[in-house]
Amino acid sequence: MNDFPAPETLGTLALARETYGKLLAAFHEKDGQTSQLKADLEAANELVDESATALAQAQTDLKAKAAETDQAKRDLSTAKQTIQSLETQVGSLETTVSDLKAAAKSAEEEAAEICASVGVDPLQIKPDDTPEQPDLMAQYRAIEDPGQRTAFFRKHKDKLLSRR
């Protein structure tokens, strides 16, 4: 406004018109700037709204992840307790197995004593360490020569037919 003359110095209509034109041009310039500022303010408000929505969604997601983490921690704690319980049970079962093995040995000894007391020699019964009978059907199927296959079938006919 410093570019404009004071109203008391406006003595002529031409000078008043010139000043009015300058004022009007300054008004339009400021009005354009105001419109731009309003548009910028609206865009900034939209960005704030979008940011607030994104922040709210991020907070919701964070709460959900925190709940999942808490549940996973509880599950882990439960699993650790279960593992400890199972390890205790395994230890107890191992002790029981070793006690039963010891009792089984003493039962064998007791049986030998009972047999000896009645005058009978105890039999040594132990698991058979010989391998199981070979699978005759698998052997039969593995033979490719027809003559050998027939001979093998005739030799083991009863066992092959009884296995079916």
Determine the Cα–Cα distance for residues 153 and 145; give it in Å rounded to an integer.
12
pTM: 0.38
Is pLDDT at 158 greater than 90 in this prediction? no
81 token code pair: 């307790």
Tens of pLDDT along 48-84?
A: 889 899 999 999 999 999 999 999 999 999 999 999 9
Confidence at residue 67, expressed as pLDDT on a 0 to 100 scale: 93
Rounded CA gap, 65 and 144, in Å?
65
Q: What are the tokens at 100?
A: 């039963």
How far is Cα 116 from Cα 110, in angstroms, rounded to an integer? 10
User: Taking a C-beta distance cutoff of 8 angstroms, is the pair 160, 137 a contact?
Assistant: yes
* Closest CA relative to residue 153, chosen from 138, 140, 141, 144: 140
Confidence of residue 107 (pLDDT cuts 50, 70, 90): confident
Q: Are 5 and 15 in contact (CB under 8 A)?
A: yes
